[in-house]
Amino acid sequence: MERVYLDHAATTPLDPRVFEAMLPVLREGWGNPSGIYREAQTARKALDEARDTVAARLECAPAEIVFTSGGTESDNSAIRGVSAAWRAERRAPPGHMITSAVEHHAVLEPMEALERDGWEVTVLPVDREGLVDPASVQAAVRDDTALVSIMTANNEVGTLQPIAEIARAAKSRNPATLVHTDAVQAAGAIDIRPDLLGVDLLSLTAHKIYGPKGAGALFVRHRTPFRPLLIGGGQEGDRRAGTENVAGAVGLATALDLAHAEMDARNAHVGGLRDRLWRNLREGIGDVSLNGPRDMRGRLPNNLSLCFPGVEGESILLHLDMEGVAASSVSACSTGSTEPSHVLTAMGIDPDIAHSALRLTLGLGNTEAQIDRVGRALPEVIARLRALSPIR
């Protein structure tokens, strides 16, 4: 049975073109880029070219790009880096930070750690569609607010946040407040140029855009107060210690370059399939609700987050897997938790309903035939599970 992969928000397959770009580095460019001999300089050239490519796509200076191991490190580095610089450069006690209730755990947990260290953290609510109100950001900013961190696109329900408005609102209240956005899910789907968004720090990862795992980047605007999360070496302009993953950086740069060049075509492909699947499921399943923006233009083009009252999301996943379909119920980083999605409950969805959530995220390899197959299989799965459910 052909497998149908619908969990592209968790990770994407490696694009063959990205693989081919990485091969020369793995074969000949294996030297340590910090050295001065020929092997090292071969690696340095590949690393510099990758940095130039990422910078060109973001329309920023190459020196503003810090290569990391992925989105989690980039998010942690942004939050920890700003907080450490705040304390060191101001010689001040812990200040204040702002985030939202629907952030990835890579943002929420560092914020919680800072609270234990004496920082005050305001966690802003969202509306039923998962949106943060820019006015609430402006109202929350204080004279001692060091950072506002709001994601560009939600990894579970696909909501696109008004980041540019949020950044303007924060800085209108306090120009010294820095703004960070986790753009991990948004890269390749929308324009994430930092100048367009008005942000000072921006997180990326390669494996969400058909690049390799273990490769990411953090944009840090010039003159942004920042201290490194990882210390013990002078790499990445003293902002991230450790020998660089040159092949990973090349993979990230190639994947980002391809995503930029093919954005419109990719969005049209996955958006059309997403809408086709939603039509099929609405016709084939009674009592199914869409999580996140009702207007599909307000969400990532490949995202379809649904709830099916009366069944458990994990049961749906197991039955779909037996039908040859891979999907998820929540963020891959939350798999194994018995708690309902913090994103859905923050949006006001009843915890019992949230337990029935299913996240279907489409990708470049999906076809109409695959989508139609899922459109037939999923209603049958829901019908079987509801027939067995003791609560219906």
60 as an active site residue: the answer is no
How many Å is the maximal CA-CA distance in the chain? 71
pLDDT at 227 over 80: yes
- Out of 14, 84, 296, 333, which one is annotated catalytic? 333
Tell me the per-residue pLDDT of 157-181, one tens digit each, with 9 for 90 and over: 999 999 999 999 999 999 999 999 9
Q: Which domains does the chain have, with CATH numbers?
A: 4-12+263-388 (3.90.1150.10), 16-261 (3.40.640.10)
Tell whether the model's pLDDT for residue 335 goes beyond 80: no
Q: Which residue has the tokens 């009366």?
A: 310
Q: What is the pLDDT of residue 331?
A: 55
With 0-12 / 13-18 / 19 or more C-beta atoms within 10 angstroms meaning exposed / middle / buried, residue 391 is: exposed
Nearest C-alpha neighbor of 74 from the set 172, 185, 169: 185
pLDDT for res 90: 87
Q: Is the pLDDT of residue 382 over 60?
A: yes
- The confidence band for 240, taking pLDDT boundaries of 50, 70 and 90, is very high
Confidence of residue 330 (pLDDT cuts 50, 70, 90): confident
Q: How far apart are CA 314 and CA 310, in angstroms?
A: 12
Tally the C-alpha atoms within 13 A of residue 37's C-alpha that lie toward its C-beta: 4
Cβ-based burial of 92 (10 A; exposed 0-12, middle 13-18, buried ≥19):
exposed
Task: Please give the pLDDT value at position 339.
Answer: 86
pLDDT band at 92 (very low <50, low <70, confident <90, very high): confident
Report pLDDT for 202. Answer: 99
Q: Give yes or no for residue 332 having a pLDDT over 60.
A: no
- Check residue 46 and give its pLDDT: 98
* Comparison of pLDDT for 335 and 347, the residue scoring more: 347
Supply the pTM of this predicted model.
0.97
* β-pair partners for 359: 305, 328
The string of pLDDT tens digits covering residues 180-220 is 999 999 999 999 999 999 999 999 999 999 999 999 999 99
pLDDT by residue (tens digit) across 97-137? 999 999 999 999 999 999 999 999 999 999 999 999 999 99
